[in-house]
Structure 1
Amino acid sequence: MPTPLPFRASESLHGLSAVVTGGSRGLGLLIADELTDRGCRVTLVARDAAELGRAEELLRQRHPEGSVRTAVTDVRDRKALADLFHRTAADRGGVDVVVANAGIIQVAPAETVGTSGFDDAMGAIFQGALNTSLEALPYLRQSRAGGRLALIGSVGGLLAVPHLLPYSCAKAAVGALAEGLYAEAARDGVSVTAVHPGLMRTGSHLHAVFGGDRRREFAWFSALAGTPLLSMDARRAADRIVTAVQRRRVRLVLTPAARVADKAHGLAPALTARISHATTALLPTAEGEPELRPGIDVEPATPRTLGERLRSVGSALNDRAARAYNERHRTAAERHQA
């Protein structure tokens, strides 16, 4: 029987080499910021070179003495990830901490998203987490500090969320992967932490993609994501995630609402399914545009309907987070001109 990994409260992350995928904006950027604050030498990974450049600049402004580097890499490409970890280990003297955070969010009825949308979600979220984990584990086993791996799931992976089904399916697979890897990697001194955040104010509504009745889908999603009683300050979430990784926690569920939903689904799954069915009546129908468009293009310049006006009030904090965490880097007009 493998022995559990020992927990040492004084265990420090200072000087360790950390890799964060999906690290150019939102939660990934904040996790990288928190790791840098605790003395890690951080490598930011994302697909967009321009976003990575802005993220690196933000971190260097906050941590002039910190050590930050970037790597343009698509986590769906296992060969590219193999090269990334090989270069990082050579440049940084190893890899000690890995946070698999990359992913996409599609907001639309399942029939609007279609099978290709589910394939995209599984590729970016689950396959990305799997590729990252398998390529990182050999290096984490060699870590003198004892490697740490964190997989960012979601409360949406603990129970199915209507109009977010591709995301829920992929995040559920990530949760299963994290639990299985924890059991298998512990004997080699590597801890694996499954993180399941609830709603957070990261500004991700601008990079989520919307289909069907796009404006109404955008309105409900962005309003809920920015409501203080339901959502969590993203910087506080990043602090708790990094602390959980540092302390080698097995599982972390963030936000009181997410913990209640997790326990309710575990105790009474049929009841939670009925409640989910009831709430679906409040969501838009599948009628509308099949093409998925990013929130930054869908966001109305001037709220017209009551729902859009309520959204503009409910998501004010989320809009502020978008500006702070590298989510709102171009206006919709600029995107169309690019």
Structure 2
Amino acid sequence: MTHRTRLPFRARGPGALVTGGSRGLGLFIARHLAERGCTVTIAARDADELERAAAQLREETGATVHAAVCDVRDRDAVRGVLRAVRERDGLDIVIANAGVIQVAPVEAVGSAEFADAMDTMFYGALHTSLEALPYLRESRGRLGLIGSVGGLLGVPHLLPYSCAKAAVGALAEGLHAEAAGSGVSVTAVHPGLMRTGSHRQAEFGGDASAEFGWFSAAAGAPLLSMDADRAARRIVDAVIQRRARLVLTAPAKAAQLAHGVAPGLTTRLSGVVARLLPSASGRSPLRQGAEAGEPRNPVARRIRSWGSARNDRAVREANQQEPGPRTSS
């Protein structure tokens, strides 16, 4: 039997909010919170996707699950959702997970893509944190901010994502220090590659099909990536246990250690990796994974098919099967 850390018993279940909870990692996190007795609210932009996810969670867990349409870039919208959750269910756990993934060489993107990543991931986490903290002080609650190994070092062809996730990591560490005296715990979570089916919703630029090929293969490769359900369980355990920091996957831990010990060498090695990735002749509109197409090279197609097989199987379970507005990572 798998051990799950549970929250202390209460007459009512703890109230939990997960942003970006309609698909991918956020959906798996919401499922584990529901299985631990929480009344869960999932928030994202797409109403249809949210309702499909909420129905899936209710059927799987038997828990009370609410859906809230919310754009985390809008602080007023975040404030309204948090107030409603606190008044209806109480607010004990908040996990800020909403994000976007843009995969392209830097010459294929512009400042708008960086702004989009920062608005959704950093400012989304910031708005959620600032609006949640007063309620969490009342409940001596828990806040989790989902960063990434991509925020611990600059990852080629993921620079908007890396920049935004680095800011989320700094925010989590600073809030953990400042909130410690109030009884609120803040957990910084830095996952590596996970099999969440996110390659279907990520956006690809430059040679979009080639970018889709390497990203989807890496995100599903057995030795590089982690099962998303297992990752979500460990994330929920870390937040409940009030851990300050969690880094997931062996490659992510190795990358973090290498960058800490020898940052210059790690950066030079990243340059070698970058030269192996697809090149771009200029800017072009980003295309969602479902529209990017398979790599043109037959060898690359076979590698993608092999590497992404497990990730492809996660698409339906993670509610990633239909393209829609970008809401979660």
TM-score (norm 1): 0.91
| DSSP 3-state at the match of 1:326 | coil
Which letter maps to 2:300?
A: G
| DSSP 3-state at the match of 2:110 | helix
Query: What is the aligned partner in structure 2 of residue 77 from structure 1?
Result: 74
| DSSP 3-state at the match of 1:103 | coil
Distance in 1 of aligned mates of 2:9 and 2:143: 13
Distance in 1 of aligned mates of 2:105 and 2:262: 25
Identical counterparts, % of pairs: 61
Question: Greater relative contact order (Cα 8 A, min sep 6): structure 1 or 2?
Answer: 2
Distance in 1 of aligned mates of 2:194 and 2:293: 19
Asked whether the 8 Å contact 2:104–2:211 carries over to 1, the reply is yes
1:135 aligns with 2:131: yes
Asked whether the 8 Å contact 1:76–1:131 carries over to 2, the reply is yes
| DSSP 3-state at the match of 2:67 | strand
| DSSP 3-state at the match of 1:212 | coil
**What 5-or-longer segments of structure 1 have no aligned partner?**
1-8, 332-338
| DSSP 3-state at the match of 1:104 | coil
Query: What is the aligned partner in structure 2 of residue 328 from structure 1?
Result: 321
Asked whether the 8 Å contact 2:107–2:282 carries over to 1, the reply is no
Alignment counterpart, residue 298 of structure 1, candidates 269, 283, 292? 292
1:197 aligns with 2:191: yes
Which letter maps to 1:273?
A: T
Q: 1:305 to 1:261 in 2, by over 3 A?
A: same
| Cα distance per residue 1:104-129 (max 9 Å; x no partner) | 00000112111111011000110000
1:32 aligns with 2:30: yes
Which letter maps to 1:91?
A: R
Query: What is the aligned partner in structure 2 of residue 125 from structure 1?
Result: 121
Which letter maps to 2:57?
A: L
Please give the root-mean-square deviation of Cα atoms over the aligned residues, in Å.
Answer: 1.5
Task: Give the CA deviation at 1:63.
Answer: 1.6
Query: What is the aligned partner in structure 1 of residue 17 from structure 2?
Result: 19
Alignment counterpart, residue 172 of structure 1, candidates 166, 171, 177? 166
Distance in 2 of aligned mates of 1:75 and 1:329: 21
**What 5-or-longer segments of structure 2 have no aligned partner?**
325-329
Alignment counterpart, residue 96 of structure 1, candidates 85, 92, 95? 92
Worse-matched range after superposition: 317-326 or 283-292: 283-292
Distance in 2 of aligned mates of 1:157 and 1:139: 28
Which letter maps to 1:16?
A: P
Q: 1:305 to 1:79 in 2, by over 3 A?
A: same
Query: What is the aligned partner in structure 2 of residue 86 from structure 1?
Result: 83
Q: 1:13 to 1:124 in 2, by over 3 A?
A: farther
1:278 aligns with 2:272: yes
Q: 1:74 to 1:180 in 2, by over 3 A?
A: same
Asked whether the 8 Å contact 1:213–1:284 carries over to 2, the reply is yes
Asked whether the 8 Å contact 1:13–1:39 carries over to 2, the reply is no
Task: Give the CA deviation at 1:275.
Answer: 0.5
Which letter maps to 1:233?
A: D
Distance in 2 of aligned mates of 1:55 and 1:37: 15
1:154 aligns with 2:148: yes
Asked whether the 8 Å contact 1:46–1:73 carries over to 2, the reply is yes
Alignment of 1:237-256 (within 5 A): 237-256=231-250
Which letter maps to 1:112?
A: A
Which letter maps to 1:307?
A: A
Task: Give the CA deviation at 1:329.
Answer: 2.7
| Cα distance per residue 1:8-33 (max 9 Å; x no partner) | x8753761000000000010000000
Which letter maps to 1:328?
A: Q
Distance in 2 of aligned mates of 1:23 and 1:242: 13
Which letter maps to 1:318?
A: N
| Cα distance per residue 1:213-270 (max 9 Å; x no partner) | 0000000000000001000000000000000001000000000000000010000000
Task: Give the CA deviation at 1:45.
Answer: 0.3
Distance in 2 of aligned mates of 1:269 and 1:219: 28
Worse-matched range after superposition: 238-247 or 286-295: 286-295
Task: Give the CA deviation at 1:299.
Answer: 3.2
Which letter maps to 1:255?
A: T
Distance in 2 of aligned mates of 1:113 and 1:23: 27
Distance in 1 of aligned mates of 2:55 and 2:76: 28
| Number of aligned residues | 318
Which letter maps to 2:238?
A: A
Which letter maps to 2:104?
A: A
1:58 aligns with 2:51: no
Which letter maps to 1:319?
A: D
